[in-house]
Amino acid sequence: MHVQAKHGSDKSEITTWCSQTPHPKPCEHFLGTDSNHRRPIKQKPDFLKALLEVTLDRARHAGSHTLTLGPKCRNKHEKAAWADCLELYEDTILRINNTVDPQQKCSQVDMQTWLSTALTNLETCKAGFEELGVSDYVLPLMNNNVSYLISNTLAMNNGGNLTNGAPSDQKFGFPSWFKTGDRKLLQSSSPRANIVVAQDGSGNYKTIGAAIAAAAKRSGSGRYVIHVKAGVYKENIEIGKKVKNIMLLGDGIGKTIITGSKSVGGGTTTFKSATLAVVGDGFIGRGITVRNTAGPQNHQAVAVRSGSDLSVFYQCSFEGYQDTLYVHSNRQFYRECDIYGTVDFIFGNAAVVLQNCNIYARNPPNKTNTLTAQGRTDQNQNTGISIHNCRITAASDLKGASGVKTYLGRPWKQYSRTVFMKSSLDSLIDPAGWMPWSGSFALNTLYYGEYMNTGPGSSTKKRVNWKGYHVITSSTEAAKFSVGNFIAGGSWLPATNVPFTSGL
């Protein structure tokens, strides 16, 4: 039996601290048995540090365990879901490690962001098995209480400062990888390219994939501009977590086109169906069309998935049907982009603002469109979808269609959070505004808001009467979802040289 060192935390002390968390039992169990943790817990920062360390330890353990499950996968579906989990656990470990690494600058809001992402990753891992209909024998082996521990750290870091589903005010600093000096490179309207991609052989590479592979080998992590000349590029692109500060610069919407057709109907997970997937932090996409051509009959088929922290898409177009734009995790900004789709076509669990964008609903196979499906699973995650000064209208194929109902969103997860502010809503929006996911699921815990929208679909007179739905009348409340507050845009967007409105 292990004898507790005198200077360590005793059991009653641990019990007292853990009682303040949403999941006290795993907290007590793992803090009590963690042989590495021998420091006394006198104050909340000590407790948070101890929690983070034990959470990182358990995440590493779960990641290693996941690795051993490979040989147990019996078919391609199980292997596909397992491969996602491996990647997602790796990112989870990286994000939690960033919160404890003494070399890494980490503010309270950074920590909340990266812990939110860590939890989202584990949910995505689980979802892959569920959507491919994989028997759940693997899943219990993956539940190593890591989700509960992350949830506890989120709650303690947040300080319980929650207002009615609206985000709390948090201070923001720069992560160590973010180079403010890169601004000079982006000052001109067309930044100087490091390398050029052209199908006719006039550039350095003929495919975007080859250019990304070259960028991954570069020394340093400063901004790296890849100019992709006009053309149709049939490739699925992944920009991994180690490839940071990449800018994909196209020749404009409809000119530089990246296209793919992976889908859940075709046997991949939603996560892996993306035509363009970006995880490396600090990504900028500009002047590009990204398509998923799997079609409405193939269910989830993503055009773009982003888990890139402090990332921007400017003057881009995303075309698909179900699940077009997967705003997976971390802090993201979209400006003057066009998004086309049918079911849940802006979805995920990032902290994201879409500003001055055009959102086009297409003609759906089952007569129902939902613009958003936000995936917050924990009330302390600092995530949500904020749609500001956008135009919501029908795509050309929907204009002549009859009997189609289009809704602003539906609650994919328990604490789903979405707001539409100062946007123009055409008559296609159903008077109820929002649609349930299943029965009364999440109707009391979600946060859906509308603020000063205009257009024939903007009347809130016949909107749903759910507890979590709000007609926002206070500018102070609405401002919490602005670029300046929700994603702290004033501190990092100027360096990207993309225009933005910080307030309402």
| Catalytic site includes residue 344 | yes
Say how many C-beta atoms besides its own lie within 10 A of residue 207's C-beta.
Answer: 15
Contact 364, 343 (CB under 8 A): yes
Q: What share of the chain is helix, strand, coil (3-state, %, to 5)?
A: 30, 25, 45
Residue where the block lists tokens 């892996």? 272
Residue where the block lists tokens 């940071």? 244
Q: Which entry of 84, 110, 182, 344 is annotated as an active-site residue?
A: 344
DSSP helix/strand/coil, 352: strand
- 246 forms bridges with which residues in the sheet? 224
CA-CA distance, 323 to 304, in Å (whole number)? 9
Secondary structure of 108-137 in the HEC alphabet?
HHHHHHHHHHHHHHHHHHHHHHHHCCCCCC
CA-CA distance, 220 to 248, in Å (whole number)? 18
CA-CA distance, 178 to 418, in Å (whole number)? 28
- DSSP letters of 185-204? HH-SSSPPPSEEE-TTS-SS
182: its two tokens: 């890169």
CA-CA distance, 447 to 425, in Å (whole number)? 19
CA-CA distance, 447 to 439, in Å (whole number)? 17
Nearest to 410 by CA among 451, 369, 379: 369
Task: Give the catalytic positions in this structure.
Answer: 344
